[in-house]
Amino acid sequence: MKKFVNDPRQFVPEMLEGITLASDGRLKYEPKYNLIYRADMPQEGKVSIIQGSGSGHEPAHTMIVGKGMLDAACPGDVFAGPPVEFVYETSKLLNSPKGVLHIVNNYTGDRLAFEQGREMCEMDGMRVETLLVNDDVAVKDSTWTVGRRGVAGNFFVIKAVGAASERGADLDELVRIGNKVIANVRTLGIALSSCTPPVKGTFLFDIADDEMEVGIGIHGEPGRQRTKLVSATEIVDIMLAAVVPDLPFQRGDEVALMINGLGGTPIGELYVLYGIAHKKLEADGIRVFRSYVNEYCTSLEMAGASLTLLKVDEELKSLLLDPAEVSIRVF
Amino acid sequence: MKKFVNDPRQFVPEMLEGITLASDGRLKYEPKYNLIYRADMPQEGKVSIIQGSGSGHEPAHTMIVGKGMLDAACPGDVFAGPPVEFVYETSKLLNSPKGVLHIVNNYTGDRLAFEQGREMCEMDGMRVETLLVNDDVAVKDSTWTVGRRGVAGNFFVIKAVGAASERGADLDELVRIGNKVIANVRTLGIALSSCTPPVKGTFLFDIADDEMEVGIGIHGEPGRQRTKLVSATEIVDIMLAAVVPDLPFQRGDEVALMINGLGGTPIGELYVLYGIAHKKLEADGIRVFRSYVNEYCTSLEMAGASLTLLKVDEELKSLLLDPAEVSIRVF
């Protein structure tokens, strides 16, 4: 295993400490619950927005805690949902008179933790609502999931409700907006390589030198099929053929187009995919409102990429363009 | 070779087209010279800032063309300097009454192209100045270089002169500021894996499963030594022991601290390195003014990281904090 780690069991805490130290006081860290949160939260006049999926998908979701995005993140270990205790204690610490919003990616472990955590909060008299993200069109159920998986589309849910929350939206309004994003976002991922969780120390799965996994899950779960590696243009065709008819996205629609790197693929290759997808969509009368080419939801150092389309209306366009603060810095 | 490519010889043009399509009209693309430039440049009242190194180091430098950064980039193919013609034609197209600034990373191929390109421009009566970036402390000369190599510190040179240029600084002032950054920035990189240039199709070099290359060059050139892979904390010790005494950075200094990923290392590991480095510097009385944890200058999908320190004064701090526009988007 070739990684920058000390004790692999301390990988997540050391990463969280690094994120906090890099934030110049903007973020606080509570090691007991793997909890990263905005130093200026909770606030009386704002719903608190919380996520707690597995680690290993960075920058999702611990590196997008900030104004206009998440208010707190309480991740589990690599590829493991957080314990119920993390969800409960985080929700209590971030509790606000306007309520708490849980954004949960649809994995059985995450769902159980957040359902039980919510029940405990409600017994304490707190008001909690939940958004369930399930944008991955690859498979109906999976080894980790009943129903579709939540993947890179999670970013758009957080961006939209985070912006609305800064504008003062109440909990019901955030649930409406979040569910609008969820209803209009679809993703398909393709992996070229496996990845190595630090504690495991060996590959999550094997894949031959000339193969790719179409519809890969972000924990290396099988997708639709294992096929021979094909050209970038053919890969975009496969992605669009899975994503476009699923909503469906249609002539006249405006979309946000995301090419998300899975961790080990250089951004130059992501822009190759982006250019091909952009041209194909525009040729089909689907207008690209805004581009997102970067890593948003990864699987450690997996080589691969996912394509996400979000159909936008005037409300979502406005929310996507609002300012935000995240840990990730480009200048 | 497992990459998202079509014809590998078209990798760079297809990437550049993708960058342009993602820019929403902000950038223009001239395929004849691999040229990406700001659609609103040249301007009469602004020096034009140009770079043209090899490709394969993205986001450097084609993805940081924009207001407050580069005005144009004319890269060569992967790990190859641009032809003289690219430099000359780009400089002519971007020529401004205030002059043209070339920012050149210190590699023999890049230097030759830019020295000859500058001579051709000067014969045409243009005013051109050059900044030579050489922040890599690893080796004095190398297989690709006479003198030290230019690596991730290049980002800070571009950020500072880009900001000053937007404020209206003239060419002499930009040369002064750029050389101040160059005099105060130092870097060391460590590689855990090799990488595969698309046209070559095979690894650039071999490295054993338990080894790392200390002082790696961004084209896979040898560094100081090949050693056994050690812990994250020991790696930061090696990086700081090379970088800190070189300037030297001293108690009471304020620094920008960059942990730059070389392409294949997940950002979670970069934050582990960041946290360790931040604590060690602060313990030695060196204050971290601002954190930079991301990919800034890569070697395709190489696993590895570099540490860069820039000693800042009030002028540089102010320039680093100015707004900028780049292709890379985090929200």
Query: Quick check: bond before B13 cis, omega within 30?
Result: no
Residues B32 and B146 in one domain: yes
Residues B267/B294, Cβ–Cβ less than 8 Å: yes
Environment class of B318 (CB within 10 Å of its CB; exposed 0-12, middle 13-18, buried 19+): middle
Above 80 in pLDDT, residue B149? yes
The pair of structure tokens assigned to B307 is 């540490």
Question: Are B209 and B174 members of one domain?
Answer: no
B129 and B102 Cβ atoms separated by less than 8 Å: yes
| Token pair 């960075």 in the structure block, residue | A58
pLDDT reading at B211 higher than 80: yes
- When pLDDT is averaged across residues B217-239 and rounded to a whole number, the result is 96
Query: Would you state the structure tokens that stand for residue A234, as one six-digit string?
Result: 């053919």
A208 and A134, same domain (yes or no): no
What pLDDT is stored for residue B146 in this prediction? 84
pLDDT digits (tens, 9 = 90+) for B266-282: 999 999 999 999 999 99
Same domain flag for A66 and A179: yes
Q: How far does the CA of residue B63 sit from the closest CA of chain A (Å)?
A: 9
Range of the domain at B176: 8-183
Gap from B285 CA to chain A (nearest CA, Å): 16
Is A119 part of a structural domain of the chain? yes
Q: In terms of domains, do A251 and A295 share one?
A: yes
Q: What is the pLDDT of residue B140?
A: 86
Q: Phi and psi (nearest 5°) for A83?
A: -65, 155
Is pLDDT of B142 > 80? Answer: no
Q: Euclidean distance between the first and final Cα of chain B, in Å?
A: 31
Tell me: the pLDDT tens digits for A235-271?
999 999 999 999 999 999 999 999 999 999 999 999 9
CATH number of the domain that residue B150 is part of: 3.40.50.10440
Beta bridge partners of B35: B30
pLDDT band at residue A174, thresholds of 50, 70 and 90?
very high
Whether A102 is catalytic is no
Residue of B nearest to A212 (CA): B2
| Cα dihedral across residues B219, B256, A267, B19: positive or negative | negative
Whether B77 and B141 share a structural domain: yes
**Chain B residues whose beta carbon lies within 8 Å of the beta carbon of residue A193:** 2
* Confidence check: pLDDT of B126 > 80: yes
One-character DSSP codes across A281-296: HHHTT-EEEEEEEE-S
Does residue B237 belong to any structural domain of this protein? yes
**In this structure, is residue B272 part of a structural domain?**
yes
User: What is chain B's alpha carbon radius of gyration, rounded to the nearest angstrom?
Assistant: 19
**Contact status of A61 with chain B (Cβ, < 8 Å):** no
**Tokens at residue B146, please?**
């006479």
Tell me which residue in A209, A231, A268 faces B58 most closely, judged by beta carbons.
A268
Interchain contact B287–A (C-beta under 8 A): no
Within-domain flag for A3: no
For residue B198, the one-letter residue type is P
Identify all chain A residues contacting B21, using CB atoms and an 8 Å cutoff. 274-275, 278-279, 291
The answer to whether residues B94 and B217 belong to one domain is no
A201: left (phi over 0), alpha (psi -120 to 50) or beta: left
Angle at A293 between CA B216 and CA A77, to 5 degrees: 70
Return the pLDDT at A141.
79
Residue in B68, B69, B328 nearest the CB of A294: B328
Query: Cα(B179)–Cα(A186) distance, rounded to whole angstroms?
Result: 48
pLDDT at A143: 75
Separation between Cα atoms, residue B196 and residue B203, nearest integer Å? 5
When mean pLDDT is compared across A13-22, A143-152, A246-255, B89-98, the lowest value belongs to: A143-152
- pLDDT above 70 covers a percentage of chain B that reads 100
Answer whether A271 sits within 8 Å of B18, measured CB to CB.
Answer: yes
pLDDT at B144 over 80: no
pLDDT of residue A327: 97
| Residue B228: both structure tokens together | 């056994």
Cis peptide before B198 (omega within 30 of 0): no
Peptide bond into A42 cis (omega under 30): yes
Q: Is A154 left (phi over 0), alpha (psi -120 to 50) or beta?
A: alpha
Residue A125's pLDDT band, with cuts at 50, 70 and 90, is very high
Measure A125 CA to nearest chain B CA, in Å.
Answer: 35
Both tokens assigned to A249? 């996205």
- A331 in a domain, yes or no? no
pLDDT above 90: residue A55: yes
Segment A197-222 mean pLDDT: 96
- Could you tell me which residues come within 8 angstroms of residue B23 by beta carbon, excluding any fewer than 6 positions away? A291, B327
Res A144: pLDDT: 77
Q: Are residues B168 and B22 in the same domain?
A: yes
Q: How many domains does chain B have?
A: 2
Does residue A228 share a domain with residue A279? yes
The DSSP code for A9 is: G
Active site residue B219: yes
- What pLDDT sits at residue A189? 98
CB contact under 8 A, A270 and B4: yes
Cα–Cα distance for residue pair A17/A29, rounded to 1 Å: 7
Tell me which residues of chain A, numbers 133 to 152, contact chain B at a CB-CB cutoff of 8 Å.
Answer: none
CATH number of domain containing A215: 3.30.1180.20
Mean pLDDT calculated for residue range A199-223: 95
Alpha-helical segments (H) within chain A:
11-21, 84-93, 108-123, 154-166, 171-183, 232-243, 267-283, 314-321
Residue A213, pLDDT above cutoff 90: yes
The DSSP string of A78-134 is BT-PPPHHHHHHHHHHT--TT-EEEEEES-HHHHHHHHHHHHHHHHTT--EEEEEE-
On whether residue A104 sits in a domain, the answer given is: yes
Percentage of chain A with pLDDT > 90? 97
Does the beta carbon of B269 lie under 8 angstroms from any beta carbon of chain A? Answer: yes
Q: Is A329 within a domain?
A: no
Whether residue B317 sits in one domain with residue B197: yes
Alpha carbons A166 and A150: distance in angstroms, whole number: 24
For residues B186 and B308, the answer to whether their CB atoms sit within 8 Å is yes
Nearest partner of A34 among A4, A55, A5, A3, judged by Cα: A55
What does the pLDDT read at residue B34?
Answer: 98
Chain B nearest CA to A66, separation (Å) = 12
Instruction: Among A137, A152, A183, identify where a domain stops.
Output: A183
Residue that finishes a domain, picked among B183, B209, B241: B183
pLDDT at B141: 79
- Cα distances (Å, whole numbers) of residue B58 to B77, B137, B152: 12, 21, 11
Domain closes at, from B150, B183, B216:
B183
Tell me which residues of chain B, numbers 153 to 212, contact chain A at a CB-CB cutoff of 8 Å.
155, 159, 192-193, 209, 212
The reply to whether B218 and B315 lie within a common domain is yes
Q: Are residues B163 and B242 in the same domain?
A: no
- Residue A2: inside a domain: no
